[in-house]
Amino acid sequence: MKLLILNGPNLNRLGKREPGIYGAETLADVESKLDKIALAQDVELAFYQSNWEGALVDKIHEAEDIGLDGIIFNPGAFTHYSIALRDAVASITVPVIEIHISNIHSREPFRQNSVIAPVCIGQISGFGTDGYELAYQAFLLRGKGV
């Protein structure tokens, strides 16, 4: 199985940005933890983060073109308004799980809506950086036909 871990704007600031909301782990910490888990299960992971919407669209398209098995996607603030990212996810057959470190549904009203979730196979929100591993486990379960 080959998965892309895709991160949107400001996630490069994990560990520094509002640690009371997003925690103390850095994006490198999250990636390292996932790499260790994947290595033991013979899963290939690719990681990509960008603050640029178009670069994320390109990565989503590329995932389809190279035949990845899934995308774990934290779109950051683009969650709430990026029709371009929503349409990119809708344009591919690769399954996407949207994740959020904080619980977007219990935050400010403008953060409670996701334009991307309706075209994803699921959404994980509010479990901190463990949400990445939960999404990873969900893909493993899908691979087993569960």
Asked if 22 is an active-site residue, the reply is yes
Q: Which residues pair with 48 in a beta bridge?
A: 6
Catalytic position from the list 22, 61, 105, 136: 22
Only one residue has tokens 């389809």, namely 64
100 is catalytic: yes
Q: What's the rounded Cα separation, in Å, for the pair 125 and 123?
A: 6
Catalytic residue among 48, 80, 81, 100: 100
String of DSSP letters for 7-56:
E-TTGGGTTTS-HHHH-S--HHHHHHHHHHHHHHTT-EEEEEE-S-HHHH
Q: How many whole angstroms separate alpha carbon 54 and alpha carbon 45?
A: 22
Active site residues: 22, 100
